[in-house]
Structure 1
Amino acid sequence: MTDDIVLVERFPDVDDYLRLRAAAGMHEKTREAAARALPNTLYGVRLERDGQIVAMGRVIGDNGCFFTVVDIAVVPDLQGRGLGKRIVAALDAWLQRNVPPSAYVTLVADGDAKHLYAKFGFVESAPVAVNMEYVMEAGGVRSTAHLQPK
């Protein structure tokens, strides 16, 4: 039952952000990185149940040419109940109202999440374009360990 879960148009604070990322099995972020990043959110939402944040998603970017959907996370015991779709629908509605013509809207889809995102018009860009990344570690060391199969 998810009728008691409400959408709030405000992104979680640093503590809840780090907690939700960890709970959803996402790559860890440092407190410093999260504290620097979250104020730069263009638009964010969270889902709450009994005052507890159980899901989140946000849009980041330069607010003109490039917008990126990130941090879609749902606590494990509520996954598979349409909450991710609810988050993406809210972000999509904001994007439709706020993104100017010619702007790129992107995201990185992990695993089967690509099927959800396709419902909102996202398509795989390969072979025209591919996602490329690394994670910055301490001392300016670039790491791609997070991309290795588990």
Structure 2
Amino acid sequence: FVVADIPGLIEGAADGAGVGDRFLGHIERCRVLLHLVDANDEDVATSYRIVRDELEAYGADLVEKPVIVALNKIDTLDDELVAALSAELAEASGHPVMALSGASGAGVPAVLDKLLEIIGPEKRKTAPNSQDSEGDESPDWSPI
């Protein structure tokens, strides 16, 4: 499957702030959204809502796509704080929250398994070098 890494969107991205509208256009090609929220953010719920609001403002049914909400950088926090932030994020998002650490790898296999579950078995069988509609790029298209 194809993964698109969309860097942090700023408020107003859907209206053209920064290059956010171009990144949002790239999201239209994705089958599932993995929303990584930094566990060290001052307010994880607000961080989630800002991006979610930009997806809604952009339109193109982005908010209708399946989503996985994940709290990242859990290696920097104790278990009690991870649990509290996960609960806060789950309440804000309305989705279960998966905790992970890109640095230590904790929780990463579970998140990858969930992505594959959502993408579906036919996509898992696609050969790594084969082209599919998600991987095809128009020659004139650029995310920036």
Into which bin does the TM-score normalised by the smaller protein fall? 0.3 to 0.5
Taking structure 2 as the reference length, the TM-score comes to 0.36
Structure with greater strand percent: 1
Taking structure 1 as the reference length, the TM-score comes to 0.35
